[in-house]
Structure 1
Amino acid sequence: MLTERKRSVKMNIGFRENMTVEFKSDLKKLSDDVIIESVVAFANTDGGKFFLGVEDNGDITGLHPSHKDPSKLAAFIANKTIPPVAVQTELMDADDVKYLIVTVPKYTAIVAASNGKVLRRRIKLDGEPENIPMYPYEMNTRLSSLRMLDYSAQPVPEAVYSDLDPVEREHLRNIIQNYHGEKNLLDLDDTELDFALRLAVEQNGTFVPTYCGMLLIGRRERLSTLVPTAEAAFQELQGTDVAVNESFVLPILMAFEKIESYMDARNHTKEMEEGLFRISIPDFDKRAFREALVNAFCHRDYTMLGRVRVLLDDDGLTISNPGGFIEGVTIENLLTAEPHGRNPALADVLKRIGLAERTGRGVDRIFEGSLSYGKSLPDYSESNTNQVKLFIPKSLPDKAFIKMIAEEQSKIGRPLSINALLILNALKSNRRLRLGELAHMIHLNEYKVRTTVEKLVESGLVEADGNGNSRAYILSAALYKNADNVIGYVRQTGIDRIRYPELVLKFAKNNQGKVTRKDVMQLLHLNQGQAYRLLVKMTEEGKLLLVGKGKFAYYKIK
């Protein structure tokens, strides 16, 4: 009787469906086609887990007898998918009710069902997931994000060689000259230049522009027809008033200079004089802005509708582009991921003509543009799978921080590394941090952080306190003195030590009046020698009394 009552209450899986989780009822034997479609959709998105024998609300209702053999179902899935999808199947039991978990890996190729269907997953407006067809243009997006297709290097259908504009080609030559690009490119004739930069390819005995070529030097009237996604916009808001709102379809070189001219007229600069240093401080670092704009044009997904958008408002500068981060790049590893782009041919041209950072580390330049002036960091947190959105806040510079950086760079004869700037900025904002806290904050591994921060200690920019896991770091006295904030420095370095005796006595009072050296080490994160010296000093001051010797010794309140 108890068993029957227990079974009448359905067990629930305890969580909901999302992009990587799907439930399917199997009471009436789920069709083979639906199973295969779900697997294909997972493989073409982010992978995930497919729960067979679970209702949409999470209730576990069990498997149809024909699906109770996990290995048989896995083999069936492999035979009905192209390329074969190798899933993991696990038979589960919830109070004698069986269900199946099918784990589907994310594939680095387009997966189709054997009947030709290609699907992907998405979230509907109501927040629920669904499987929908993947259209041809989405396949290009998928492959380019996986770095398996360079869309910018593909020939443009219906384009002819004369669609490349001789005036824009000359413009490109001028950029090579003015931005210190590869000078040997200037020695090439037009056709040789186009092939060297992959602006055109030979196809069936004729020259055909690539997307890279049309985007860079295509005729304006043909660009809007052949590559309608090559749109950009500049907007300026003053409060809620729209001061500028202009959209245009132009070759990238022309669009780039148009947007730069808008920014130059609005990017105000202040002069800072400090001793021998005279530093110009712009609202937004010009090199950082240029790299951010290059990244937006270079890494956008040209198969998606949308535009590169630059918005200037009272809060700061926003630069966004269609297409999310490519495979392997996240907000957390943005500064450490191996540099690679969505459109390698286009990125290569922009580097070779001198417009983009040659090392591929333009994102470092974007962060450096804020870090060098002690300003708020660039923010990518609003980026998603459909767009990358960079926000650079408009913030006041930290003059003491600027002076410290300028003096150090003058002393060593080169700029500080991006890791050093990130560490200094984190300490400026948080005052006192341990190694693990620093590593977590700036998204770097502890080995790299330790190497860089100890070099900063040697240079005198950072001071360290303690040993081992208790070792903490603060900015040096020089910064606080430059900012006329000696009180702040003393507070950071001395307030903990002043409170040590108070904390030891408080611990002893709550521990039957006793405290050991080991207790002090754990309480105050001190090493053995530091704990011993503190206890000896408190004994000499008459606050504690030593009882016993050796490992059984302890101190009691006097």
Structure 2
Amino acid sequence: MTVARDIPERETLKYEFKSDRKRLPDGELIDTVVALTNTEGGTIYLGVEDDGTPTGIHQDHAGTTKLAALVANKTVPPVPARVSTLLLNANGVMDEDGVQIVEIEIPKSTAIVSSSDGKIMRRKLKADGSPESVPLYPYEIITRLSAIGQLDYSAFPLPDTSIDDFGSEEIARLRDILSRSRNSDQALLELSDEEILSALRMTTTVDGRITPTVMGILLAGKPEVISRTIPTSSATFQVLEGTEIRVNQDFDQPLLYTIEKMYEMLSPWNPEREYEDGLFRQSIPEFDHRAYREALVNAFGHRDYAALGRVRVLVDDEGLTISNPGGFMEGVTVDNLLTVEPHGRNECLMGALKRIGLAEKTGRGVDRIFEGSLYCGRPLPDYSGSTSASVSVFIARSAPVRLFMQMLDEERERTGRPLSLKSLLVLDALKQQRRLTITELSSQTHTTDAVTRSIVEALVEAGIVEGIGNASNRAYILSSKVYARSGKGSGFVRQSDIDKIRYPELIMKLARQQGGEIRRRDVESLLHLTEKQAYRELAKLVEKGALELVGQGAGARYLVVK
């Protein structure tokens, strides 16, 4: 039998075991403290062997106050560690008769921390998955400071460059984008070239001399200058059909050129589907154009330009993947992407892209990426492939859901405005799960119950959503606007649209479509009945000899009697 431990079973990026039988040197302890606080924070268990066996602490480390003071005095800036003692038996379980160990909790720092003798460390995983503390090298410091929002590398002036290092054709491209974009800062067009560069912070003044910034050279520098000063700015556009490479093009040009070219390159690989909207027909691309542009701009705008790697756009049989070096910013996760306060790694660069008209001015470009899928009833963009070193978004190939789109179009015509992103997320959750409570909807949309309830009530009032059940166990379903008159599952009509006399007919029809069997939950979903109501309808058909019950409880099936 496995015994629940009060300390972790093994070391990870956030947990470190340190043997203290021979008195752990202060320097080794401080190195681990520095590495943890410069990564994700974590806990040191002093007096525990590498295999997780508690063996006790040295008498010199018996005082928790003394250890906390040691950590604070030997780190710059001081790390406020919380130190406590634990009594554990050989299984790592709290036991009054066990050996004494020390638990040192290290917070994640919002600055770069070093030991008092100047060593800067970080945590990383080795090839076998075990953790280790390694030096944080100078080029990695920029990445770390950028990730925690303490530094904007894109705003740095570039030494050994001058205003002559901008390409004249790129300045012309900048003006052309400004004039074509409806969202650009049109006032910039009235300025001279040098004034535009200054206004967008593409140049700055250093010792009285106009000097390009990293962002300026990225956007409009000459290719040879970019290659010399920012060699990490490259990108790749690839198309695969099966295992065959159709397109594999690298880009080492300025971002203004690269973004526009990579946007255009998707068109031949982005087929459109015809969609009937009343008397009109409209074409729906497989990948939403606006969502693709936002994802592309985000990849260049938020990538880590101090790290090796490249922005990559991959089109394959499964869908579209856009990835870039540099993980999510501090505080941003896959779960809170749509709710966290927007903040980026390269604020200077993103600020320029917004004013030029290439990026969403509100900083909520990710909302547009999700809306591109939600408005067509398609699977949501998938960021689960992201890691601490890169961000990756996958948009699956999928046909638009015509009935869902019709419902959204009707509501937009009725109100004169599109539904909010939160409303779309609620509707998508109901489309996928069919019946959810407020708490379940809040969990899926990552909003509070109060916000979710407000959204749902508005959708109920609009006739898009309906509540079912009593107040203590109330759930919500989509209204008849999203259900077809025939088909299976979500394509069936709602309970209120069906004459109860037809219940047996519809149940038998679904059973035959499913190979001659049906379960209670199928009937609940089909007719939007409660568990007891569905059971009663099935029992009637069993009594009539139309169905035969096989099994009991949750595994019960009803077979068509031939």
TM-score of the two chains, using structure 2 as the length reference: 0.85
Task: Specify the alignment match of 2:239 in structure 1.
Answer: 236
Give the Cα separation in 2 of the matches to 1:440 and 1:372. Answer: 21
Does structure 2 conserve the Cα–Cα contact (< 8 Å) formed by 1:372 and 1:421? Answer: yes
> Which of the numbers 144, 147, 162 marks the counterpart of 2:146?
144
Partner of 2:304: 301
**1:330 counterpart residue number:** 333
Quote the Cα distance in structure 1 between the aligned partners of 2:194 and 2:414.
48
CA contact (8 A) 2:484 2:492 kept: no
Residues 238, 501 of structure 1: alpha-carbon distance in 2 compared, 3 angstrom cutoff: closer
User: Take 2:530 and 2:72, find their aligned partners in 1: how far apart are those partners?
Assistant: 65
- Give yes or no for contact 1:288–1:367 (8 Å, CA) kept in 2: yes
How far, CA to CA, are the matches of 2:534 and 2:220 in structure 1?
73
- The answer as to whether partners of 1:436 and 1:446 remain within 8 angstroms in 2 is yes
Q: Could you tell me which residue of structure 2 aligns to residue 205 of structure 1? A: 208
**Rounded Cα–Cα distance in structure 2 between residues aligned with 1:66 and 1:495:** 69
For 2:375 and 2:79, locate their aligned partners in 1 and report how far apart those are by CA, in whole Å. Answer: 49
Task: Give matches, 1:38-53, under 5 Å.
Answer: 38-53=32-47
Which residue of structure 1 aligns with residue 532 of structure 2?
A: 499
CA–CA separation in structure 2 for the residues paired with 1:360 and 1:247: 28
Q: How many residues align?
A: 495
> How far apart are residue 287 of structure 1 and its match?
0.3
Aligned to 1:285: 288
Q: Which residue of 2 aligns with 1:107?
A: 109
**Whole-angstrom distance in 2 between the partners of 1:113 and 1:288:** 45
Which residue of 1 is the match for residue 174 of structure 2?
A: 172
Distance across 2 between alignment mates of 1:386 and 1:205: 38
2:19 pairs with 1:25: yes
* Range that drifts further, 436-445 or 67-76: 436-445
Distance 1:428 1:502, change over 3 A: closer
CA offset at residue 497 of structure 1? 4.4
- Partner SS for 1:379: coil
Structure 1 position 483, deviation (Å): 6.6
Partner of 1:345: 348
**SS in structure 2 at match of 1:433:** coil
Please give the alpha-carbon distance, in whole angstroms, between the structure 2 residues aligned to 1:414 and 1:502.
43
Deviations 1:300-329 (A, max 9, x none): 000000000000000000000000000011
1:473 and 2:467 equivalent? no
The 1:372/1:12 distance shift into structure 2, 3 A limit, reads closer
Of residues 201-210 and 274-283 in structure 1, the stretch that sits farther from structure 2 once superposed is 274-283
Q: Write the distance in 2 (CA, Å) between the matches of 1:138 and 1:373.
A: 42
The change in CA–CA distance for 1:415 and 1:332 in structure 2 (over 3 A counts) is same
Tell me the distance in 1 between the aligned counterparts of 2:251 and 2:141. 27
Question: 1:489 is matched with which residue?
Answer: 494
| Partner-residue secondary structure (3-state), 1:229 | coil
Percent same amino acid at aligned positions? Answer: 49
Map 1:380-419 → 2, pairs under 5 A: 380-419=383-422
Greater Rg by CA? 1
What's 1:81 paired with?
Answer: 75
What does residue 156 of structure 1 align with? Answer: 158
Match of 1:539 in 2: none
214 and 51 in structure 1: CA distance in 2 versus 1, 3 angstrom threshold = same
Counterpart of 1:71 in structure 2 is: 65
Shift of 1:76: 1.2
Q: Partners of 2:333 and 2:47 in 1: how far apart?
A: 34
Alignment of 1:392-471 (within 5 A): 392-471=395-474
The farther-off stretch of 443-452 and 219-228 is 443-452
Deviations 1:372-394 (A, max 9, x none): 01111100001010000000000
Determine the structure 2 residue equivalent to 1:60.
Answer: 54
> 2: CA distance between counterparts of 1:26 and 1:320?
44
* 1:13/1:60 contact within 8 Å kept: no
Give 1:544's aligned residue: none
> How far did 1:191 drift?
1.5
How far does the alpha carbon of each residue in 1:347-397 deviate from its partner, in whole angstroms, 9 at most, with x for none?
Answer: 001100111111111101000000101111100001010000000000111
Cα distance per residue 1:244-269 (max 9 Å; x no partner): 11112110011011111210222111
Distance 2:531 2:109 in 1: 59
Query: Structure 1 stretch 124-133 or stretch 431-440: which is displaced more?
Result: 431-440
Structure 1 residues 63 and 177: alpha-carbon distance in aligned structure 2, compared to 1, 3 A threshold: same
1:370 counterpart = 2:403: no
Paired residue for 1:321? 324
1:222 aligns with 2:216: no
**Matched-pair contact (CA < 8 Å) for 1:400–1:483:** no
Task: Measure, in 2, the Cα distance between the counterparts of 1:482 and 1:341.
Answer: 47
- Bigger drift between 381-390 and 180-189 goes to 180-189
Aligned 8 A contact 1:320 1:390 in 2: yes
Counterparts of 1:421 and 1:465, CA distance in 2? 20
Structure 2: distance between partners of 1:55 and 1:176: 63
Cα deviation per residue 1:97-122 (whole Å; 9 max; x = unaligned)?
Answer: 11100000001000000110000000
Question: In 2 relative to 1, CA 209–471 (structure 1 residues): closer, same or farther, beyond 3 Å?
Answer: same
Q: Name the SS for the 1:377 alignment partner.
A: coil
Return the offset for 1:208: 1.0
Q: CA deviation at 1:159?
A: 2.0
Moved more, 151-160 or 307-316: 151-160
Aligned alpha-carbon RMSD (Å): 1.9
Deviation at 1:275, TM superposition (A): 1.6
- SS of 2:210's equivalent in the other structure is strand
Q: Which amino acid aligns with 2:334?
A: I
How far apart in 2 are the matches of 1:126 and 1:469? 50
Q: Does 1:135 align with 2:137?
A: yes
Secondary structure class of the residue paired with 2:494: helix
Contact 1:233 1:308 in 2 (8 A): yes
CA distance in 2, matches of 1:330, 1:14: 24
Where 2:109 maps in the other structure, the secondary structure is coil
- Residues 12 and 60 in structure 1, CA contact (< 8 A), matched pair in contact too: no
Moved over 6 A (4+): 482-486
Distance change (3 Å), C-alpha of 1:283 and 1:493? closer
1:120 matched residue in structure 2:
122
Amino acid in structure 1 at the alignment position of 2:213: T
Q: Distance in 2 between matches of 1:242 and 1:495?
A: 48
**TM-score normalised according to structure 1 size:** 0.86
Tell me the SS of whatever aligns to 1:423: helix
Check 1:168–1:502 CA distance in 2 against 1; reply closer, same or farther (3 A cut): closer
**Pairwise CA distance, 1:436:** 1.1
- Asked if the contact 1:400/1:482 (under 8 Å) is kept, the reply is no
Contact 2:486–2:492 (Cα < 8 Å) also in 1: no
- 1:358 partner SS: coil
Separation in structure 2 between the aligned mates of residue 98 and residue 160 of structure 1, nearest angstrom: 63
Aligned-pair CA distance for 1:161: 2.1
Q: Which amino acid in structure 1 is aligned with residue 137 of structure 2? A: Y
CA drift of 1:495 comes to 4.9
Report which stretch shifted further, 62-71 or 13-22. Answer: 13-22
